[in-house]
Amino acid sequence: MDLAKELKVAIGTGKVEVGYKVGLKTAAKKKAKMIVVASNAPDELMARIKAAAGETPIYRYPGTSWDLGALCGKPYRVSTIAIIDPGESSILKIQEG
């Protein structure tokens, strides 16, 4: 499965929250179905996301936050994306590992 393609489809057809603060709030409210985190996200940020996410799956994106930002069409770094509704994508089938 091509993560970049599925993430673009989810952004275009579903509902996602881009950014650490918004993603953290979405995870805490249990609205997120998956959290995508950039590989270079600091350990402190990762710990806070894990604490807020609970049982929500967390996928560690293999690229940097710059790569994740570019994938989202943003001209800045994006460390976290919360998938609320995957739309027509099958991104929720991605298994970490």
Identify the sign of the CA torsion 67, 5, 13, 30: negative
* 13 within domain boundaries: yes
Number of domains observed in the structure of the chain: 1
Stated pTM of the model: 0.89
Residue 96 lies inside a defined structural domain of this protein: no
Q: Is residue 78 part of a domain?
A: yes
What is the domain range of residue 23? Answer: 3-88
Q: Does residue 48 lie in a domain region? A: yes
Tell me: the pLDDT tens digits for 69-94? 999 889 999 999 999 999 999 898 87
Sheet bearing 34-38, strands edge to edge = 15-18, 80-85, 34-38, 58-61
Please determine, for residue 48, whether its predicted confidence score (pLDDT) is greater than 90: yes
Task: Please report whether residue 95 resides in a domain.
Answer: no
| Position with higher pLDDT, 4 vs 14 | 14
Structural domain contains residue 46: yes
CATH code of the domain in which 51 resides: 3.30.1330.30
Predicted pLDDT of residue 96 = 47
